[in-house]
Chain A
Amino acid sequence: MTTSLTSTPVPATVSRQRVRARWVLVLLPLVLLAAVVFAVGTGAVHIAPAQVVAILLAPLGVPPLAAYEEQQAAVLHAIRLPRVVLGLLVGAGLAVAGTAMQGLFRNPLADPGLLGISSGASLAAAMSVVLGIHLFGSYTLPVMAFLGSVVATVIIYALAQDRGRMNVATMLLAGIAVNALCGAGTGLMTYLATDEQLRSITFWQLGSLGAATWPTVLSAAPLLLVGVLGLPLLARALNALTLGESSAAHLGIPVTAVKWAVVGLVALSVGAGVAVAGAIGFVGLVVPHLMRLLTGPNHATLLPASALAGATLLVLADLLARTIVMPSELPIGIVTALLGAPFFLYLLRQGRKGERL
């Protein structure tokens, strides 16, 4: 895994990789589109493909191709579509943030959790449940989770300051410390929680897209899109950073500004995602690896490819989560971890084999 980042491949591999990267960028949107169509058409409430098309085209004044019931239309519009759209955005946000973090830290194990984003959000969410904070009505939990992630990130930022510059190594250590602190705080909250509150916290930490309504999607979408569209703009700088900070600086990259921008954008997109969908693990860690295997280490293709693959993965994971145990449903965090962890171990074995050769 690391070899692909640091080694300088021979020209032949580079051109082969470029061709492959181009193919990936053509195919991934199609795969995503297929996943979305499949996810929109599948669920506990049966809606046939023709009915899906008819319902979606109805507002445009197209005469229905297939007869459908009003409730099917309502389920599609009010429950399933916002859910799929939210999964798409959150998946893209988590994956692109993970890719950017791995690039910034030059470490394939870096994921947004390192910045304290998830643990800060968990602590704030647990506090809002246990202490009964109702500042923002029914949006209290997501807003608190977002604030928690931003506060944790800002603290780590501040700790990583070294004479006006941001030290990436210190940031890693500060992240570990703040994570531990937030973990202890969340532990304290679960200790104080009543039985009912404990269930809420547990289910929030496992993640779910089930609470998706259009207002939640719209509240998170701008922040997620800023990350998903903003981080690829930093691709050239991230590529330069793989050579090391001083080399990047010599190439004319404003290193400090880039680091701040990456961390800020990651915090925004992941914080917003965690706020609306809970803590969903493994997407930010596994997707960048997979895409790096397919497209090579160039961030200009890696970042958009990760966004597309992350979106596809989460849409499909959510489809599994809500259909395997119908009419009940699984928390999506369980699905992503069950899919992600074995796959991650597989990659790990493959990577070690490569080293031996």
Chain B
Amino acid sequence: MHKSLKTTLALSLALSLFPAASAAQVKGADGVSVNVTNPKRVVALNGTTVELIYRLGKQGTIVGTDVTGTYPANKIPSVGHWAQLPAEGIISLKPDLVIGTADNFATPKNTTLVQQLRAAGVKVLVLPATDMGGLDGVKTRLNLLSQVYGVPSAASGLSKSFDTTLAAVKANRPKVAPKVIFLYAHSPSDATIYGTEGGANELIELAGGKNIAPFKDTKALTAEALVAMNPDAIIMLNRGLDSVGGMEGVLKMPGVAQTNAGKNKRIYTVDNSIRWIGPRLPEFALQLAREWKKDFGR
């Protein structure tokens, strides 16, 4: 996975060195090449794809998205939940290009979606998955999109700014990595822990923490397991913190008060979209690294 990402990255970087012609042939993560000439109506599935298109200044082309495409503006018409997307609904927006991500199309229903869209003559570009590959993955997707829109310089500019922020992150990390768990809560009695894969993990590692979840996927939180792991810091989504009733609510959740994080009130919140690794990852990491450096010193 990682290797193929790197080759894709190298390939797309090489391609982006050439000045963009009016028509570009862009090869998606599913191996299918898409011929596009300056798309005017794009359905961008997945919030990070929408964000990246905004970053390239081409937001005017987006005519539809899924429920995750709410940042930075939440006024784009939604075609529904990303795990179950309607073929005809997407086509009715008259897109000249549908851009999704591999994880977007991985659910059983959506594998036929790609076939259906292509059978109806709609071009579909499949970007690499958003929950893997960290910031390199973001750059790969950015480069593919810059080929689609013929704006390679915008992409390389953004990639450079990522690297600048990333250097700042590295300078601001705490010296000793705090033990961290990422708590994904829906309500005080319903919370899971994000494992050592995906956006949450990328964020923890970038910011200089150590994800101590002993598994890859998500698992339901048990009070005793939490106490046994004894994290120094707990990260939550903004909406997760709201759903348990703010800081007071978190400390009342079973097990939390008995951990170092609970005793010292080391609860941190991040943007709701973090599990999909997007262009704001370096900013989130920088903010978190600074907070951790302050709280954990040295």
Assembly CA distance A163 to B134 (angstroms): 64
Question: Chain B: which residue is nearest A278 at the CB level?
Answer: B109
Q: From DSSP, what is the main secondary structure of chain B's interface residues?
A: mixed
A210 in contact with B87 (CB, 8 Å): yes
Stretch at the interface among A21-29, A74-82, A99-107, A304-312: A74-82
Which one, B64, B90, B111, contacts A138 given CB within 8 A?
B111
Q: Which of B52-103 contact A (CB under 8 A)?
A: 64, 77-81, 83-84, 86-93, 103
B84 in contact with A80 (CB, 8 Å): no
Q: Is the CB of B31 closer than 8 A to any CB of chain A?
A: no
Q: Write out the residue numbers on chain A whose beta carbons fall within 8 Å of the beta carbon of B93.
A: 327
Assembly CA distance A329 to B91 (angstroms): 13
A71 in contact with B64 (CB, 8 Å): no
Stretch at the interface among B6-14, B115-123, B148-156, B175-183: B115-123
A79 in contact with B81 (CB, 8 Å): no
Known: A210-B109, A331-B84. A44 touches B218 (CB 8 A): no
A213 in contact with B79 (CB, 8 Å): no
B78 in contact with A328 (CB, 8 Å): yes
Assembly CA distance A240 to B78 (angstroms): 55
What's the nearest-Cβ distance from chain A to residue B88, in Å?
4
Known: A44-B91, A195-B192, A200-B83. A129 touches B108 (CB 8 A): yes
What's the nearest-Cβ distance from chain A to residue B254, in Å?
18
What's the nearest-Cβ distance from chain B to residue A272, in Å?
17
What's the nearest-Cβ distance from chain B to residue A137, in Å?
9
B81 in contact with A322 (CB, 8 Å): no
Q: Is the CB of A260 closer than 8 A to any CB of chain B?
A: no
A44 in contact with B92 (CB, 8 Å): yes
Q: Is the CB of A33 closer than 8 A to any CB of chain B?
A: no
What's the nearest-Cβ distance from chain A to residue B82, in Å?
8
Q: Is the CB of A196 closer than 8 A to any CB of chain B?
A: yes
B80 in contact with A74 (CB, 8 Å): no
The count of A-to-B residue pairs whose CB atoms sit within 8 angstroms is 106
A191 in contact with B220 (CB, 8 Å): yes
What's the nearest-Cβ distance from chain B to residue A80, in Å?
7
A322 in contact with B218 (CB, 8 Å): no
> When each residue 207-245 of chain A gets 1 if its CB lies under 8 Å from chain B and 0 otherwise, what string results?
010110100100000000000000000000000000000
Q: Write out the residue numbers on chain A whose beta carbons fall within 8 Å of the beta carbon of B121.
A: 70-71, 74
Q: Is the CB of B223 closer than 8 A to any CB of chain A?
A: no
B109 in contact with A213 (CB, 8 Å): no
Assembly CA distance A208 to B64 (angstroms): 22
Which one, B90, B112, B220, contacts A211 given CB within 8 A?
B112
Assembly CA distance A129 to B107 (angstroms): 9
Assembly CA distance A43 to B88 (angstroms): 7
Q: Write out the residue numbers on chain B whose beta carbons fall within 8 Å of the beta carbon of A140.
A: 108
Contact-residue size bin, chain A (C-beta under 8 Å from the other chain): 35 or more
Q: Is the CB of A204 closer than 8 A to any CB of chain B?
A: yes
Q: Write out the residue numbers on chain A whose beta carbons fall within 8 Å of the beta carbon of B86.
A: 44, 210, 322, 327-329
> When each residue 316-328 of chain A gets 1 if its CB lies under 8 Å from chain B and 0 otherwise, what string results?
0000001001111
Assembly CA distance A74 to B79 (angstroms): 20
Assembly CA distance A195 to B77 (angstroms): 24
Q: Is the CB of A199 closer than 8 A to any CB of chain B?
A: yes
Q: Is the CB of B171 closer than 8 A to any CB of chain A?
A: no
Q: Is the CB of B217 closer than 8 A to any CB of chain A?
A: yes
Q: Is the CB of A338 closer than 8 A to any CB of chain B?
A: no
Q: From DSSP, what is the main secondary structure of chain A's interface residues?
A: helix
Q: Write out the residue numbers on chain B whose beta carbons fall within 8 Å of the beta carbon of A71.
A: 91, 120-122
A79 in contact with B88 (CB, 8 Å): yes
B79 in contact with A216 (CB, 8 Å): no
Q: Write out the residue numbers on chain A whose beta carbons fall within 8 Å of the beta carbon of B184.
A: 195
Q: Is the CB of B106 closer than 8 A to any CB of chain A?
A: yes
A74 in contact with B119 (CB, 8 Å): yes
B112 in contact with A75 (CB, 8 Å): no
Residue from A196, A328, A329 having most chain B Cβ neighbours under 10 A: A328
Question: Chain A: which residue is nearest B119 at the CB level?
Answer: A78
Q: Is the CB of A203 closer than 8 A to any CB of chain B?
A: yes
Q: Is the CB of A66 closer than 8 A to any CB of chain B?
A: no
Question: Chain B: which residue is nearest A77 at the CB level?
Answer: B119
Question: Chain A: which residue is nearest B88 at the CB level?
Answer: A44
Known: A79-B88, A200-B83, A327-B92. A216 touches B112 (CB 8 A): yes
B83 in contact with A138 (CB, 8 Å): no
Q: Is the CB of A5 closer than 8 A to any CB of chain B?
A: no
Assembly CA distance A209 to B112 (angstroms): 11
A200 in contact with B108 (CB, 8 Å): yes
Assembly CA distance A74 to B121 (angstroms): 7
Which one, A45, A203, A211, A213, contacts B88 given CB within 8 A?
A45
A75 in contact with B120 (CB, 8 Å): yes
Question: Chain A: which residue is nearest B103 at the CB level?
Answer: A196
Q: Which of B194-241 contact A (CB under 8 A)?
A: 217-218, 220
Assembly CA distance A203 to B107 (angstroms): 10
Assembly CA distance A45 to B89 (angstroms): 7
Q: Write out the residue numbers on chain B whose beta carbons fall within 8 Å of the beta carbon of A350.
A: none
Assembly CA distance A326 to B83 (angstroms): 17
Assembly CA distance A275 to B111 (angstroms): 16
17 contacts between A and B (CB under 8 A): A44-B89, A44-B92, A194-B218, A195-B218, A195-B275, A196-B106, A196-B107, A199-B81, A203-B83, A211-B112, A213-B119, A322-B89, A326-B89, A326-B92, A327-B64, A327-B93, A328-B80
- New contact pairs (13) apart from A46-B92, A79-B120, A322-B86, CB-CB < 8 Å: A71-B121, A74-B119, A79-B88, A195-B275, A196-B103, A203-B84, A208-B109, A210-B87, A211-B112, A213-B116, A216-B112, A326-B92, A329-B86
Residues of B at the A interface (CB closer than 8 Å) are 64, 77-81, 83-84, 86-93, 103, 106-109, 111-113, 115-116, 119-122, 184, 192, 217-218, 220, 275
Top-4 shortest CB links A-B:
A328-B80, A327-B89, A44-B92, A199-B83
